[in-house]
């Protein structure tokens, strides 16, 4: 069966520090991968999606970047965090025409 792992569950980082969130998928190959962010009390915002290794599409201009170094690994990064980067970050995967499966999320607080 397919599983998605996302870590860490919570993270507190100072303004200006770097960020690296990792997401891995098991039990499938060549999945579509996604990063979403949910600010407090707000909806889900699509940040990045990837249909293959090294293929990244950015949905909104921001202080973040994403990379897909391996087929089932998706990384969200920042060189210098801003207060506005605080939120609940969710990774998801899908097969074409299939439903999305979300990870358990990372709650990031930038202080």
Partner 1 sequence: DAKTTQPPSMDCAEGRAANLPCNHSTISGNEYVYWYRQIHSQGPQYIIHGLKNNETNEMASLIITEDRKSSTLILPHATLRDTAVYYCIVRPMNRDDKIIFGKGTRLHILP
Binding site for partner 1 (CB under 8 A): 32, 34, 36, 43-46, 49, 51, 57, 59, 88, 90, 92, 94, 96-97, 99-105, 107
- Decide whether 17 or 30 has the Cβ nearer to partner 1: 30
**CA separation for the pair 100, 94 (Å, rounded):** 5
What is the closest distance, in whole angstroms, from the C-beta atom of residue 44 to partner 1 in the complex?
Answer: 4
- Decide whether 19 or 92 has the Cβ nearer to partner 1: 92
CB 55 within 8 A of CB 45: no
Under DSSP, the state recorded for 7 is E
**CA separation for the pair 12, 60 (Å, rounded):** 23
Tokens representing 68? 């897909």
- Decide whether 14 or 29 has the Cβ nearer to partner 1: 29
What is the closest distance, in whole angstroms, from the C-beta atom of residue 21 to partner 1 in the complex?
Answer: 14
What is the closest distance, in whole angstroms, from the C-beta atom of residue 27 to partner 1 in the complex?
Answer: 16
- Decide whether 36 or 74 has the Cβ nearer to partner 1: 36
CB 105 within 8 A of CB 9: yes
- How buried is 79 (Cβ within 10 angstroms: 0-12 exposed, 13-18 middle, 19+ buried)? exposed
């Amino acid at each position: 069966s397919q599983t998605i792992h996302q870590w860490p569950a919570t993270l507190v980082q100072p303004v200006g520090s770097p960020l690296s969130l990792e997401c891995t998928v098991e039990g499938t190959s060549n999945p579509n991968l996604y990063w979403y962010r949910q600010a407090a009390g707000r909806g889900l915002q699509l940040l990045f999606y990837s249909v293959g290794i090294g293929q990244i599409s950015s949905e909104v201009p921001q202080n973040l970047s994403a990379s897909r170094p391996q087929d089932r690994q998706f990384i969200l990064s920042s060189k210098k965090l801003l207060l506005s980067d605080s939120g609940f970050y969710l990774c998801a995967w899908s097969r074409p025409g299939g439903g999305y499966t979300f990870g358990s999320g990372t709650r990031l607080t930038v202080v």
